[in-house]
């Protein structure tokens, strides 16, 4: 059974507040989420490379992906970089602007990370379960992204 989101958020915030480096903290958060939430199969961060309008893959946990850079506007990740709004795709087959990382992935959630009023990065979570995401996932991840924005 998954640990409750408030407990998971507390653990993640402890990492954010630790003395560890930004990359270590971000990686350990991806690992924590991927290990503790059964429907989170791939968890990673993409950071904005503003001059090149590109998202670049940062720390992640899960299978390696060939999509280490994604143009702003492309795929679910690229859409969020433009809209600056969270996006839940419960069935990736129904998403026209989608970049597939693995045929096992059924659904995806992406939450923007805003620092000093500007979009700097996003957290991307792939699930091998169809339609697994609820308002609780979104609320948890929005809170997490608020808490960790200064690590970008």
Work out which of 65, 90, 128, 129 binds ligand SME, going by CB under 6 A.
65
* Stretch touching ligand SME by CB under 6 A, among 30-38, 65-73, 111-119, 136-144: 65-73
d(CA 9, CA 21): 19
Work out which of 9, 99, 114, 147 binds ligand SME, going by CB under 6 A.
99
What token pair was written down for 116?
């000093």
101 forms part of the interface with ligand SME (CB under 6 A): yes
Residues of this chain, 41-60, that bind ligand SME according to CB under 6 A: 42, 44
Judged by CB under 6 A, how many residues of this single chain contact ligand SME?
A: 15
Residue number, 25 or 70, with CB nearest to ligand SME = 70
* Stretch touching ligand SME by CB under 6 A, among 10-18, 72-80, 114-122, 127-135: 72-80
28 forms part of the interface with ligand SME (CB under 6 A): no
126 forms part of the interface with ligand SME (CB under 6 A): yes
C-alpha separations of 5 from 9, 15, 37, 78 in Å? 6, 15, 9, 27
Which string of b and e fits 61-84 if b means at least 16 CB within 10 Å?
A: bbeebebeebebebbbbbbbbeee
Check if the beta carbon of residue 122 is closer than 8 Å to that of residue 45: yes
What token pair was written down for 69?
């850079």
Q: How far is the CB of 87 from ligand SME (least distance, A)?
A: 9
Torsion of CA 90, 83, 140, 27, to 10 degrees: 100
């Amino acid at each position: 059974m998954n640990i409750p989101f408030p407990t998971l958020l507390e653990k993640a915030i402890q990492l954010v507040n630790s003395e560890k480096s930004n990359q270590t903290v971000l990686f350990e958060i991806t690992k924590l989420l991927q290990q503790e939430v059964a429907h989170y199969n791939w968890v990673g961060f993409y950071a904005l490379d503003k001059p090149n309008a590109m998202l670049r893959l940062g720390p992640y946990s899960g299978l390696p992906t060939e999509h280490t850079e994604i143009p702003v506007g492309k795929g679910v990740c690229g859409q969020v970089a433009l809209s600056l709004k969270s996006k839940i795709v419960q069935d990736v087959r129904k998403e026209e602007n989608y970049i597939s990382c693995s045929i096992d992935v059924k659904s995806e959630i992406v939450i923007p990370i805003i620092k000093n009023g500007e979009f700097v990065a996003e957290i991307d979570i792939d699930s091998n379960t169809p339609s697994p995401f609820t308002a609780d996932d979104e609320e948890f991840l929005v809170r997490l992204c608020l808490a960790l924005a200064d690590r970008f």
